[in-house]
Amino acid sequence: MSEAKFPSIIMRRRSFLQGAAAIGGAAGLSTLGMSRAFAQEPAKPAEIIVRAWGGSWVDSLKAGVSDSFTAKTGIAVRHDLTEDNEIQPKVWAAVAQGRVPPIHINWDTTTNATKSALRGVTEDLSGLSNLKDTTDLAKPVGLDGYPIVNTYGYVYVLAYRPEAFPNGAPKSWKDLLDPKYKGRLAFYNDGIGFHFPAQVAGGGKLEDIPGNMQPAWDFIAKMKEQQPLLGEDPDFTTWFQKGEIDAACTISTNAREAKKNGIDIKWVVPEEGCKFDTDGLWIPKGLPENELYWAKEYINHALTREAQQVWLDGLGLPGVVPGVNPPADLVGDPSYPTKEEDFKHLIRISSKVQVENESEWFSKFKSIMQG
């Protein structure tokens, strides 16, 4: 997406499905194609190694992308479940030292992947044939070309137990300041997903990010008085399951997974908005030429409508290819935007801006919560 469409670094997602009708017949599994750089199909490696998140995340990737890629090409796919922050320095070191990197493809948050792109360690993916059939969401905001290909988006929703909100769903993040929720709220350890809505809830403007985020810090200081629990993705499901929390700022996939596990839970996008973010796939430099070719073909395959439909059905997240339908339980859900108006309260910040400032933001959040 061109940043010229926006007056500032603030990206409110409004039209990532633009042109859906025109592209309705998205390419299928047959779109694996030979690069013009090869007179014939290059040698196939025994396997492609894809770094992935575990649990239902890798199960969905396997079902939607990896298994069908193997069926089409005969190349096995091994999923390396090393955490992205752990694999990152290993990849950087390999590229810097001219060694073959330990993975072929990294499934990564766009913000984290941007760090690698800015270091110049990612391959250019602009030549993937299926990019022409994707929406604006596939393009990483704030970067030139396609050092990363975004594959879907997600929302940091306000998840809550209906029993704790007998008068209806919370309409504002400010509703969580009610004393009755003291000790009954949860956020990520570093506050990810909450900084930007806190900026609005604190009376500030998104356009002031990153220059003036004092309204966010002031609101977070108020929230600190509620003595929230701080944790990571698996913790939220556990806390809801045990009845230890009434509300949390977490990604929609976690909330949906908790609901699948029988927890009475709902989620909303409050009036101040929720952070909208993306994950994507990228390839480190330094692979043998034939392995680079097939790694690109894997990502190209991940951009087919058929692969995205199965993969993202499992995750419950909106993809980057027109014609991918939401799961039945997410039709009309605020965490699965499909129309322009669905993005009215979703906030997207340039990944480059986040990379340049997130360490400071994370530290500030932690210092407030620990102070």
Please determine, for residue 340, whether its predicted confidence score (pLDDT) is greater than 90: no
pLDDT for 357 = 96
pLDDT bracket for residue 277 (50, 70, 90): very high
Cβ(201)–Cβ(174) below 8 Å? yes
| H helix or E strand, kind and range, residue 107 | strand 105-109
pLDDT bracket for residue 35 (50, 70, 90): very low
Helices 110-118, 351-370: inter-axial angle, 10-degree rounding: 120
- Three-class SS state of 356: helix
Mean predicted confidence (pLDDT) in 200-228: 98
pLDDT tens digit sequence for 119-144: 999 999 999 999 999 999 999 988 99
pLDDT for 91 = 98
pLDDT tens digit sequence for 63-117: 999 999 999 999 999 999 999 889 999 999 999 999 999 999 999 999 999 999 9
Q: How far apart are CA 31 and CA 53, in angstroms?
A: 26
Could you please state the CATH topology (level 3) that the domain comprising 155-276+347-370 is classified under: D-Maltodextrin-Binding Protein; domain 2 (3.40.190)
pLDDT for 141 = 83
- Three-class SS state of 167: coil
Assigned CATH for 13-154+277-331: 3.40.190.10
Amino acid identity for residue 241 in this structure? Q
Residue 181, Cβ density class (10 Å: 0-12 exposed, 13-18 middle, ≥19 buried): buried
Integer Rg of the chain from CA = 21
pLDDT bracket for residue 257 (50, 70, 90): confident
pLDDT tens digit sequence for 145-203: 999 999 999 999 999 999 999 999 999 999 999 999 999 999 999 999 999 999 999 99
13-154+277-331 and 155-276+347-370: same fold? yes
Please determine, for residue 28, whether its predicted confidence score (pLDDT) is greater than 60: no
> How is 29-98 classified by DSSP, letter by letter?
GGG----TT-SSPPPPPSEEEEE---THHHHHHIIIIIHHHHHHH--EEEEE---HHHHHHHHHHHHHTT
Cβ(172)–Cβ(201) below 8 Å? yes
pLDDT for 85 = 86
Amino acid identity for residue 320 in this structure? V
Ranges of each domain in the chain: 13-154+277-331, 155-276+347-370
